[in-house]
Amino acid sequence: MDGIDESEIDGITVDGSFGLAGVPDEFQRLWTPHRMVYIQNGQQPPEHECPFCIAPTLPDEKALIVARGTHAFVLLNLFPYNSGHLLVCPYRHVALYDEASVEEVAEIASLTQTAMRVIRQVSRNEGFNLGMNQGRIAGAGIADHLHQHIVPRWGLDSNFFPIIAKTKALPQLLGDVRNSIAAAWPTEPTDSPE
């Protein structure tokens, strides 16, 4: 080809690197620069202002608590990924899963199972994301107080509205979601599906 370096056509080099730093791989990138404010400033409250320590001292409705156990409790996430996004927290202010007592770990697991059954009954979801972000570097919103996320998922519930419009559409108010989950919560712990 006249005057064209055949090793680079339309910005794509022979090795397929597109002239960008790094080697291309199978991952797609979704850039969310608006999250830099959160990353740079963080959202870690001082220990004496820990929302997971304060919540149990408030009435359930005000704290969005749906159930209380002996060592842990369940509440709605104030900034949910989806309607019904719950958190299971020990009462004790402990940061990491391996610092939790045997009793706390057992009750967190039991409450998580019950929460999954209740959410499935109330909202007919098709799946769940469960997880714990351990430490600030891992993305924990409140890194100093252990909490398990339970996020209900439905087919076709993903869209670009949060990215493009920086808005998450939630079909129910938090208070209504709390009331429906709390009303469906069994009064006695369950060990197996009903």
- Catalytically active residues are 147
Q: Is 46 helix (H, G, I), strand (E, B) or coil?
A: coil
Residue labelled with tokens 């020990």: 90
Phi, psi of 9 (to 5 degrees): -125, 130
Report which of 94, 78, 90 is spatially closest to residue 134, judged by C-alpha positions: 94
Residue 10 zone, left/alpha/beta (φ > 0; ψ -120 to 50; rest): left
Report which of 180, 100, 185 is spatially closest to residue 134, judged by C-alpha positions: 100
Q: Is the dihedral of CA 106, 109, 113, 114 positive or negative?
A: positive
- As a whole number of angstroms, the distance between CA 184 and CA 178 comes to 10
Terminus-to-terminus CA distance in the chain, angstroms?
72
